[in-house]
């Protein structure tokens, strides 16, 4: 309750200082619209449905791409951690591709898939898959070998050991890898949407892009605020419960 008040109070303070800066008329209102103008844009965009529509399109792309990345990234990470051969092939590939900024995938995706949803998904997956894979691999390697030994004396073997011991034991790493992967996916999708017009759906990145084209600073700032809000919400809804659970179980919480 108290922390909620602090967060709200801070937000009010930020908006108030923004308003004050606007009233000082240091910059032209074209470059820095006041909070009210941005609020009006947002209200109008919500009313005519563009904002809602764009958010839906963007989050759909993001969620599909992201969950595909997890679906492949975690098992592949287990694979590279388990088998030397996978480590020397797939592991090295992942390490290499992870260093490639995901914006660099956009030209290739466009040539391969054209201006389609496929291109968007491809960029999102390439952005997050490798970091999830590497985090999983890393997590598995830090699992104390005694866990698997103890499990084996209780009759646990191969697959059972992996699912019931190695995987949960590396969960703290996997969750932080998933969080990082989420960040990468979000970034690559925004880059892709700003960079290319996709005929099948108009996302938040496009709104931002057209805000620039139209010189509509209220739109640019408004959409940026929406993007920030989605990022915050995702963190709270997708990751906070997991992290709280892990901290409680492992005893790594600060208080």
Residues that bind another protein (CB under 8 A): 146-147, 149-156, 160, 164-165, 168-169, 171, 248-251
Minimum CB separation of residue 149 from another protein in Å reads 6
Minimum CB separation of residue 83 from another protein in Å reads 21
Minimum CB separation of residue 81 from another protein in Å reads 18
Minimum CB separation of residue 78 from another protein in Å reads 16
> Cβ(140)–Cβ(81) under 8 Å?
yes
Which residue intervals of 142-216 are DSSP H helices?
Answer: 145-153, 158-161, 167-169, 171-195, 204-213
> Cβ(173)–Cβ(136) under 8 Å?
yes
Minimum CB separation of residue 159 from another protein in Å reads 12
C-alpha pair distances (Å), 86 with each of 133, 142, 152, 170: 12, 18, 24, 19
- Whichever of 13 and 253 has its CB closer to another protein, that residue is 253
**What does the alpha-carbon distance between residue 147 and residue 151 come to, in Å, rounded to a whole number?**
6
Residue 246 neighbours by CB under 8 Å, 6+ apart: 171, 172, 175, 252
- Whichever of 106 and 174 has its CB closer to another protein, that residue is 174
**What does the alpha-carbon distance between residue 69 and residue 179 come to, in Å, rounded to a whole number?**
12
**What does the alpha-carbon distance between residue 134 and residue 177 come to, in Å, rounded to a whole number?**
8
Element (H, E) at 66: helix 50-82
- Whichever of 129 and 140 has its CB closer to another protein, that residue is 140
- Whichever of 236 and 249 has its CB closer to another protein, that residue is 249
Minimum CB separation of residue 25 from another protein in Å reads 57
- Whichever of 83 and 250 has its CB closer to another protein, that residue is 250
- Whichever of 4 and 251 has its CB closer to another protein, that residue is 251
Is the CA virtual torsion 182, 187, 188, 193 positive or negative?
positive
């Amino acid at each position: 309750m108290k922390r909620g008040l602090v967060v709200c109070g801070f937000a009010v303070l930020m908006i108030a200082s923004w308003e004050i800066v606007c009233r000082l008329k240091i910059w032209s209102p074209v470059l820095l619209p006041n909070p009210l103008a941005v609020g009006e844009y947002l209200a109008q965009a919500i009313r005519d449905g563009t904002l809602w529509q764009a958010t839906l399109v963007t989050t759909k792309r993001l969620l599909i791409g992201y969950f595909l990345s997890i679906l492949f990234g975690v098992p592949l990470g287990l694979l590279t951690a388990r088998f030397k051969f996978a480590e020397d092939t797939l592991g090295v590939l992942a390490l290499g591709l992870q260093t490639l900024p995901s914006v660099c995938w956009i030209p290739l995706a466009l040539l391969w898939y054209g201006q389609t949803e496929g291109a968007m998904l491809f960029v999102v997956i390439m952005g997050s898959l490798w970091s999830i894979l590497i985090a999983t691999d890393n997590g598995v390697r830090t699992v104390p070998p005694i866990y698997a030994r103890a499990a084996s004396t209780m009759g646990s073997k191969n697959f059972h050991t992996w699912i019931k011991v190695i995987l949960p034991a590396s969960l703290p790493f996997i969750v932080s890898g998933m969080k990082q992967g989420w960040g990468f996916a979000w970034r690559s999708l925004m880059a892709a949407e700003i960079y290319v017009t996709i005929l099948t759906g108009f996302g938040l990145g496009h709104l931002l892009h057209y805000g620039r084209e139209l010189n509509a600073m209220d739109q640019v700032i408004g959409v940026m605020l929406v993007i920030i809000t989605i990022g915050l919400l995702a963190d709270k809804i997708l990751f906070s419960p997991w992290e709280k659970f892990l901290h409680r179980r492992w005893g790594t919480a600060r208080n």
